[in-house]
């Protein structure tokens, strides 16, 4: 299972290093020692917390965080779920407050070794992209 340093976990969660440490101290986010003996977070536990945090923030609040720039179509996040059948796989990625769902071949998911807790980048190619700038 992948491990993430405190700083990496904080970046993926959109919070400060101190917040991650506080959550670790209170048991909200379990930690382990990495190969260097430094504090780290298990990828699967981090994926569960990203889902919890995303559902705790109302959609109306998330929508107003747009700052007037267009995304570059890359969403870095953690794989939270992989559902495989004999031919296809559904991969859920939690990228901050955004859930990105990808349908791909089972072979591709297996080749990428996708499982909950893996760091991944969802690259979106679309001919229809809506750009919004909300009221201040």
Q: What is the pLDDT of residues 115-127, one digit of tens each?
A: 999 999 888 876 6
Q: Angle at CA 95, nearest 5°, toward 27 and 7?
A: 50
Instruction: Report CA-CA distances (Å) from 110 to 22, 76, 89, 107.
Output: 36, 20, 9, 5
Threshold 0.75, pTM exceeds: no
**Percent of the chain residues past pLDDT 90, beyond the cut:** 51
Domains of the chain: 3-63 (1.10.1660.10), 74-123 (2.40.50.100)
pLDDT tens string 60-87: 545 555 444 444 577 889 999 999 999 9
Assess whether pLDDT exceeds 80 at residue 35: yes
Segment 101-123 shows an average pLDDT of 92
Per DSSP, helices labelled H in 2-134 are 6-13, 17-26, 43-56, 59-63, 106-111
CB-based contact 54:127 (threshold 8 Å):
no
Average pLDDT over residues 39-50: 91
């Amino acid at each position: 299972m992948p491990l993430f340093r405190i700083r990496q976990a904080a970046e993926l969660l959109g919070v400060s290093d101190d917040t991650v440490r506080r959550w670790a101290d209170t048991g909200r986010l379990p930690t382990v020692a990495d190969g260097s003996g430094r504090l780290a977070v298990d990828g699967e536990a981090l994926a569960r917390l990203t889902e919890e945090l995303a559902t705790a923030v109302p959609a109306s609040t998330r929508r107003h965080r747009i700052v007037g720039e267009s995304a570059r179509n890359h969403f870095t996040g953690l794989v939270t779920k992989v559902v495989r059948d004999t031919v296809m796989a559904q991969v859920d990625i939690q990228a901050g407050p955004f859930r990105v769902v990808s349908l791909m071949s089972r072979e591709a998911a297996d080749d990428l070794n996708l499982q909950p807790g893996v760091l991944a980048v969802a690259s979106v190619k679309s001919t229809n992209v809506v750009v919004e700038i909300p009221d201040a």
